[in-house]
A and B are shown apart, each in its own frame.
Chain A
Amino acid sequence: MAQDVLRGTLLDDRDELSVDEVCRVCSVSTDWVIELVDEGVLDPIGNERSRWRFRAECLGTVRAARRLQRDLDVNLAGVALALDLLQEIHDLRLRLGRYEDPDRN
């Protein structure tokens, strides 16, 4: 049976989400998002909590933070540290990729 092709919306760097949207998409509570901001994991745009906006790329961070806390039973400071270190590893792997020649391995 021929099926329609779905066209979605591509979330871009410029797309911003409200706290409620982040909570709904990631199935987390507002309080938990506030804790992530307090811990420095998320960097909202705007000063007033009720008007916070978040860049769309934060969705991956929030979901990873939730998984790490749930699965490894670490506190938020530990989650924040893990995410920082994972980002650093990711950046270093990219740099390493520039020097590794797959033909020589």
Chain B
Amino acid sequence: MQYKDYYKIMGVERDATQDDIKRAYRKLARKYHPDVSKEADCEAKFKDVNEAYSVLRDAEKRAAYDQLGSDWKSGQDFRPPPDWDSGFEHRGGGFERSGGGFGAGDAADFSDFFESLFGRDFSRAGPARGGHAGGGFQAAGEDHHARVTIDLEDAYRGATRGITLQAPEVDDAGRVTTRSRTLNVRIPKGVRQGQRIRLAGQGSPGFGGGPAGDLYLEIDFRPHSAYRVEGRDVYLDLPLAPWEAALGASVKVPTPAGPVDLKVPAGTQGGRKLRLKGRGIPGNPPGDLYVVADITLPPADTDEAKALYRQMESELSYNPRKKLGV
């Protein structure tokens, strides 16, 4: 496993005060929080920052970590020395994330490096709901959440996706292990960005005969090189030659469901939106596909092309800046 330099992750010196560490954490948490940040890898960075802070904010853990010495480099192959933490009380788990409790899914995200030093503690991950039935304790399992990334085309046609989930599990000996399982899930036609699919009974198992929790999958569209999506509507910038826009033309237009023919009206200016009704994401009602005219200039890189532009200049008497009064 690889050594993690928690001070480097937090951007503080090894002799930083607890106040320095707290301030650094606040800044980094805002910078990399997945709900706020648009930085690449923000989720991974946010996890690293939380892991580093959970160690450095705790005097015992920080002292134990410091004891490993300062010669280690980030990413260096690491094995904890035997009895490295003797004399410290944290052994065998018991850690807490800043600002309150977190579910089992979050805890499973801490690195192998962290776990090799401080172990795991899933005591906080209990049943989310429950009740007593027939005198015995019975509780429903926790609901789980995951995100599934699909292509826009999948929303038009529907798709099947294999989703691998990791969940902590306590074995017969009371040890916590991570169990991964793969589910094949049908993504129905007509899904939108941010919509959720509920898979009943696919969350945590219940206790004492209680029902299992549900799994909620949030739909996330992979950014597309040609299309933009707003709700059920889809936008496409369509390059047009000046004569197609000026004289009108029938042109082939790609859509996520396959190419269609579009009649471009004469006199189409750049930026004009042409609506293809019902060609957006399917549904009841379906969305629309908006084709936005993008008039492109043929290059004037030959004598013939230059001559044609000169001819337009002399014969059209066109002033594109007329509205500006010049």
Contacts and interface: CB of A to CB of B under 8 A. Distances in A.
Interface of A: 3-12, 24-25, 27, 56-57, 59-60, 63-64, 67-73, 82, 86, 94, 97-98, 101-102
B99 A69 contact: yes
A10 B188 contact: yes
A82 B36 contact: yes
B186 A11 contact: no
B157 interface: no
Most buried by A among B129, B198, B237: B198
A10 B103 CA distance: 24
4 closest A-B pairs by beta carbon, nearest first, are A8-B197, A8-B199, A11-B196, A7-B186
Contacts of B33: 67-68, 71-72
A8 B217 contact: yes
Given A9-B197, A10-B188, A59-B216, A27 B160 contact: no
B292 interface: yes
A70 B100 CA distance: 6
Given A6-B183, A60-B218, A98-B235, 6 more contacts: A8-B185, A8-B197, A71-B99, A72-B29, A73-B98, A82-B36
A102 B99 CA distance: 40
Contact of B35 (A59, A86, A101): A86
Contacts of A5: 160, 184-186
Contacts of A64: 35
Contacts of A27: 103, 128, 142-143
Contacts of A71: 29, 33, 46, 50, 98-99
B26 interface: yes
A32 to B, nearest CB: 11
A10 B185 CA distance: 12
Nearest to A83: B35
Interface string B7-36: 000000000000000000010011001111
A11 B145 contact: no
Interface residues of B, number: 50
A9 B200 CA distance: 8
B195 interface: yes
A6 B103 CA distance: 25
Majority-rule SS of A interface residues: helix
| Best-surrounded residue of B30, B199, B214, B216 (most CB of chain A within 10 A) | B216
A82 B35 CA distance: 10
A25 B230 contact: no
A57 B98 contact: no
Given A11-B196, A67-B35, A72-B30, A94 B228 contact: yes
B182 interface: yes
A16 to B, nearest CB: 14
A85 to B, nearest CB: 9
B191 interface: yes
Contacts of A3: 182-184
A63 B129 contact: no
B243 interface: no
B260 to A, nearest CB: 21
B202 interface: yes
B199 A6 contact: yes
Contacts of A9: 197-198, 200
Contact of A56 (B26, B196, B215, B230): B196
B78 interface: no
B84 interface: no
Given A63-B145, A71-B29, A72-B29, A10 B99 contact: no
A57 B35 contact: no
